[in-house]
Amino acid sequence: MKKILNALFLTLLAVFTFSSCSDVPAPYDILGEGDVPGLTGDGTKENPYNIEAAQQKQDGSIAWVQGYIVGAIENVYDDKGEFAGNKASFTAPFTITSNVLIAESPDETNESKCLPVKIKNGSELSTALNLKDHPENKGGVLLIQGELSAGFGKAALINTTAAVFNNKEIGEEQGGEDLDPDNPLGLDTSVAPLVDLSNNLMMFNIRQIIQKLVGLIRLLKEIEFGKVLFMILKNIWQLQLME
């Protein structure tokens, strides 16, 4: 019991000490795992990556990218009618409905400056965006969410599910699950985390304190210390369950 209370006290002290410094601007950018220096945008819907940033950050993460629709990757067939590969096409008529090319300029024709965007055939995105059925989409600004991974043997955006085109929301946005307000740490709550103090004269609800601490930890999410506190709280919880 005493160990638990001591741990809670030290955790509270650490949180308030570090949170008091959280509004001090860092003298340098703190890069997270997978971050690439020089990226334009942060991959959010409000601040999407540009084409160059999306080409650099091919780490399998889910992100929003914005660019002009300039063409598509078309299938190429030989004289025998057999599939012979792919090539970028920038002029109508288009024959493919499963992808589009986006670029920084609406007049771009250099394939290396374009990002292939896969849109699954039959999906809302394909129906609304493909250039075969909608050649008028060429030159329009596309904001689209997907996975930053290779496609067609090059940097691409795949597994797309949501987009904004002509001020219209299309598809379903991917996003993390909301935290359970009653269990923000995702811990086992099958045992009520109550500590009996002074022969049941006072009940100390550790879960409520942990939830308050989580709110403070969110303020520290930009630094590694937040991760350390998260592990401390989990250990405290486990100690309580073993009492």
Q: Is the pLDDT of residue 74 over 90?
A: yes
Q: Angle at CA 173, nearest 5°, toward 211 and 166?
A: 135
CA 86 from chain centre, in angstroms, equals 30
Instruction: Write down the pLDDT at residue 214.
Output: 60
Q: Is the pLDDT of residue 44 over 80?
A: yes
Using an 8 Å Cβ cutoff, are 147 and 61 in contact?
yes
Instruction: Write down the pLDDT at residue 190.
Output: 53
Instruction: Return the amino acid letter for 228.
Output: V
* Residue 159, φ and ψ in degrees, nearest 5: 50, 45
Q: For 92-146, write each residue's pLDDT tens digit.
A: 999 999 999 999 999 999 999 999 999 999 999 999 999 999 999 999 999 999 9
Q: For 52-70, write each residue's pLDDT tens digit.
A: 999 999 999 999 999 999 9
Three-state DSSP state, 185? coil
Neighbours of 160 (CB within 10 A): 25
pLDDT average, residue stretch 15-37: 42
Instruction: Write down the pLDDT at residue 201.
Output: 42
Distance, in Å, from the CA atom of 169 to the CA atom of 164, rounded to the nearest integer, reads 5
Using an 8 Å Cβ cutoff, are 30 and 222 in contact?
yes
Q: For 143-189, write each residue's pLDDT tens digit.
A: 999 999 999 999 999 999 999 999 999 999 997 544 455 555 555 55
Half-sphere exposure of 201 (CA within 13 A, CB side): 2
Q: For 185-230, write each residue's pLDDT tens digit.
A: 555 555 444 444 444 444 445 555 666 666 655 555 444 555 556 5
Distance, in Å, from the CA atom of 145 to the CA atom of 174, rounded to the nearest integer, reads 8
Strands (E), 78-178: 83-89, 99-103, 114-118, 141-148, 157-165, 168-171
Q: Which CATH class is domain 51-171?
A: mainly beta
Residues 6+ apart with CB under 8 A from 226: 217, 218, 220
Instruction: Return the amino acid letter for 207.
Output: R
- What residue segments make up the domains of the chain, in order of their start? 2-27+177-242, 51-171
Instruction: Return the amino acid letter for 217.
Output: I
pLDDT average, residue stretch 75-94: 94
Q: Tokens 């703190």 belong to which residue? A: 30
Instruction: Write down the pLDDT at residue 39.
Output: 78
Confidence band of 2 (pLDDT split at 50, 70, 90):
low
First to last CA, the chain: 7
User: Which tokens hold the place of 45?
Assistant: 């819907």
Confidence band of 34 (pLDDT split at 50, 70, 90):
very low
- Identify any residues that bridge with 74 across adjacent strands, giving them in sequence order: 87
